[in-house]
Structures are given as structure tokens and as C-alpha cells.
Amino acid sequence: MEFSAPLKNGFTIYSKSGCYNCIKVKTLLAEAKYEFVVIDCDDYLFEDKEGFLLFIKERAKKEH
């Protein structure tokens, strides 16, 4: 499975439905009038959770 890469400029939010932190950051960015893209991670996590978490770890340079 190929995962959507983050934007080179601006904000990319990898969001999971019902996630309080995702909702909060989208609200804060919208209120501050920043442009951002939301990528829904639910399908990624369902189909290839380990692969997706590795993808995020490589981009974030951190493990969560």
C-alpha cells in the first residue's frame, strides 16, 4: 500500500476519526486561518497498520 506523503509546504494532518487531538489541531489551524490538508488514516491503519506507523515514524523522525 502506498501512503500519501505530507505537503512540502504548509501543514498536513494525518487524522484518525474521533481523535480529540486531530480535531483540536484542525480547529486551531482553521481559526488561525492557516491552510492545511487532512489525510484520513483510518483505511491505512485498517489495511497496513505496521507499515503506516513505520511510514509516520520515518517522516516524523520519532516514534509515537
Residue 54 near residue 31, CB atoms below 8 Å: no
What is the spatial distance between Cα 1 and Cα 53, in angstroms, rounded to a whole number?
13
β pairing state of 11-15 and 36-40: parallel
For residue 64, the model assigns a pLDDT of 66
* Grid cell 501512503 in the structure block, residue: 3
User: Quick check: 14 and 39 in contact, CB under 8 A?
Assistant: yes
pLDDT, tens only, 8-61: 889 999 999 999 999 999 999 999 999 999 999 999 999 999 999 999 999 988
pLDDT of res. 22: 96
Q: Would you say the C-alpha torsion 18, 63, 53, 36 has a positive or negative sign?
A: positive
Per-residue pLDDT at 1 exceeds 90: no
